[in-house]
Amino acid sequence: MSDVMHNFELYQPNSLQGAADLLDEFDDAWIIAGAKDSLGWFKDRVKQPAVVVDLGGIPELAGIEPTDDGGVYIGAATTLTDVSESTLVKERFQILSVAASNVASPQIRNSGTIGGNISQDTRCVYYRDGFPCYRAGGNTCYANTPTAMNREHALFEVSRCVAVTPSDTAPAMVALGAIMIIRRDGEEMEVPASEYFIGPEIDITRMTVLEPGDILLGIRIPGEWANARHYFEKIADRNTWDFALVSVTMVAKVAGGAIGDVAMVCGGVQCTPRRLTEVEDVIRGEVPGPEMENLVRRVASRGAKPLNFNHFKVPLMENLAARAVRSLA
């Protein structure tokens, strides 16, 4: 029954401790904040939790504040609109503002949260439609067969599952060296963005390190990349609402025309944001130009293993990486 949700008990705590108590009481509780991803699961009746805990009304989980090192701290329940329009974020990390402004549509950004965007589940059509694939506990990847619809799927690091990360802001978090603050068993722990996103070789049933009962409190972005040069480009079938086929996020420091430190990350090409370390090594210390762009194209997609219908992602990825470098010239 499409678009008809199952019955569940909804709890809306107004404090972090209240939320933690509920999660201790109900081991299988489903956490929401903006619920943009969760309501899709519920409407399709693929996920039917008995208890849902809404964290959207907890004041300490929302807001943006400066940190002493020139960075920012963003509460996990801060809306994407607030992130994209924040003067502080624009001044220090404009790349995150741009990435957040490219998520979905204005209506979704007004209620969707930054924590939800980076932690959302994959959008593989077979998985979302309830097929018993590896990620859902089965023994088949329905997207990786001769006749499968897999134009949106992975080029790299396939381990049974070929689904990709759907988040527009996750690559920016990796590039900026963000730190995720998680509450687990009453204690706070810090996890670098590079370790927060996990692939199927680690755990095929989830895309982040979050375990049942965990609460993502916020995101701390160090001041290392404050005011750096940046580039973001997202290619999707539609300019509004759609998920990226391929995206590129880059932050760089340029002095005397030469590229100093740089971080470049692609979205939409593997289960986690893909750090293009080989491209970074090629361009670091060099002056941008046409020859470098050609070299970047050859390096960016090295190791790609396209599926039946996503070969177009290879040149798309190569050109996005070259255009990011061109922006530094």
What pLDDT shows up at residue 1?
A: 53
Nearest Cα neighbor of 264 from 278, 245, 244, 254 is: 278
> How many independent structural domains does the chain possess?
3
Residues 22 and 53 sit within 8 Å (Cβ to Cβ): yes
Measured from the Cβ of residue 31, the count of other Cβ atoms closer than 10 Å reads 23
Rounded CA separation 231/163 (Å) = 25
66 and 200 fall within a common domain? yes
* Residue 281, C-beta contacts closer than 8 angstroms, at least 6 positions apart: none
Q: Could you list the residue range(s) of the whole structural domain that residue 201 is in? A: 60-120+164-224
Claim to verify: residue 169 and residue 205 sit in the same structural domain = yes
Question: Residue 187, Cα to own-chain centre: how many angstroms?
Answer: 24
CATH code for position 168: 3.30.465.10
141 occurs within a structural domain: no
Q: Quick one: 83 and 204 in the same domain?
A: yes
Find out whether 78 and 63 touch, Cβ atoms under 8 Å. yes
- Same domain for 282 and 298: yes
Answer whether residue 45 is part of any domain.
yes
Q: Which CATH number do you get for residue 304? A: 3.30.390.50
Handedness of CA 255, 257, 263, 268 (dihedral sign): positive
* Residues 269 and 298 reside in one and the same domain: yes
Q: Are residues 114 and 192 in the same domain?
A: yes
- Residues 186, 294, single domain; the answer is no
Considering the domain architecture, whether residues 65 and 183 belong to the same structural domain is answered as yes
End-to-end CA distance of the chain: 54
The whole model's pTM is what?
0.97
Name the strands in the sheet holding 179-184, side by side, starting at the edge strand that comes first in the sequence: 64-66, 72-75, 215-221, 179-184, 187-192
CB 111 within 8 A of CB 105: no
Nearest C-alpha neighbor of 81 from the set 58, 61, 105: 105
Q: Does 171 reside within a domain?
A: yes
User: 2 lies in a domain?
Assistant: no
What is the full per-residue pLDDT of the chain (329 aa) written as tens digits?
567 899 999 999 999 999 999 999 999 999 999 999 999 999 988 999 999 999 999 999 999 999 999 999 999 999 999 999 999 999 999 999 999 999 999 999 999 999 999 999 999 999 999 999 999 999 999 999 999 999 999 999 999 999 999 999 999 999 999 999 999 999 999 999 999 999 999 999 999 999 999 999 999 999 999 999 999 999 999 988 899 999 999 999 999 999 999 999 999 999 999 999 999 999 999 999 999 999 999 999 999 999 999 999 999 999 999 999 999 99
